Structure 1
Amino acid sequence: MKFGIIFYSILGVLALIIGVYLLQYLFILSIIFFIGAFINGVFIYKEYNIHKSDKIEYNENTLPDEIIVKYSRSGRIIAIATYSIFMMLGILFISSIKFKMNFITIFVLALLIAFTGYFILKIIVEIKKISKVMISVNGKGIQIENNPTCLWNEIQLEKIIVKRLVSRESKHDYKPEINYLYFFHGDEKIEINIDDFDITDYQLSQVLKIFRSRYNNSGLI
């Protein structure tokens, strides 16, 4: 954790210094570096929050009647800020074009407008994700997004699994891990990537065990 925070702090300070320096020359370019400094600040918060969240444990007495899982807010902020950099670059290039009525100029301008518009749409999509409910777990069962609730008596083998990405071209032993919510609903196998959500794999594992225990002890089996 310390290395990550130090690394992002150094990058953030450098981006901030460059942004301040460029203020006297090109305002839009300086804004890009300010956004970069902001992104590093969010990374520092995310790095700290991940380790802090790992210490939070649920138990039968503290777990509410329903757990709502959404996209990670810090992840959305990072994505929005990153797309904003590309949007600002598009605006910078558009503003620097000396418009002439010829095919090449019009073609380049159209490409830049499309480039900028694409990242504006990406920003809008990320903003909408902030309030979107991805998983709901309660006494009835598990609901994925807006799909019908999978009832506990129809669910089997609910757990968190880890998959490791293996590349034939990789010469290193490190294999990125991806966490999934995994269960069978009837004969259907369901896997949902949870790494970009606002709950850790350990916390969600606890939630599944407690709600399963509540259901088993409710006499509704």
Structure 2
Amino acid sequence: MASALLLEDYCVQLKGRIDAAYSAGGYTLGWRLLSSPAAVMDGAEIAFVGLNPGGARLRSDHSELAMREGSAYVDEVWDNARTAGENPLQRQVRALFDRLSVAPENVLAGNLVPFRSPSWSSLPNSRTALAFGEEIWTELFERARPKLVIGMGLELLSPLSRTLGAFDPVRHSVAWGNVTAAKATFPTGKLVVLPHLSRFGIVTRPQSRPALDLLFRDRPA
């Protein structure tokens, strides 16, 4: 079992599996799994998961398996920003972590599918890639045992529910037209799936504050 391996051994094994799947799938834009250090695999109260890394070019300045230290949401310069941490998505995610009183580097943050693409629809072999990502994150959740898992993008509700064994999802308005978030329960915690924060900046939007209060009010201790 993955949870029985020492972290260093598991990281070597995991990187090898991702490299092999990357080659077999014909991907060309690189890959990234975690936006935080590998240490979070051995225990994190909160997980934050996006669908897959976006972009249309290889990023040699970005880590693959995990950050050496810090958080990609704090320490990297992303598109449309001149300085580290100032991309609008980075600011939204950091505001969410501030709200939850957790340091970004202590969050099990990453991508369900590690393979980069400009959009999900343009990712080759996306169905196989999704199954591979679910397999990896089932292991990561078993290792880290987060009590709160946050998905970014409603398309993550089904795959994260499968990996966690979550049930009884309920949709909640976020006071942004017809846009909703979702909340479900899994055996050891809560799953909250938000609309994608790059398009819907609800974390810093006053009108959406009551919805966020509701979504996170019974955060497991």
State the TM-score, normalizing by the size of structure 1: 0.23
- Normalising to structure 2: TM-score of the pair? 0.23
Going by fraction, where is helix more abundant, 1 or 2? Answer: 1
Structure with higher RCO (Cα < 8 A, 6+ apart): 2
Greater radius of gyration (CA):
1
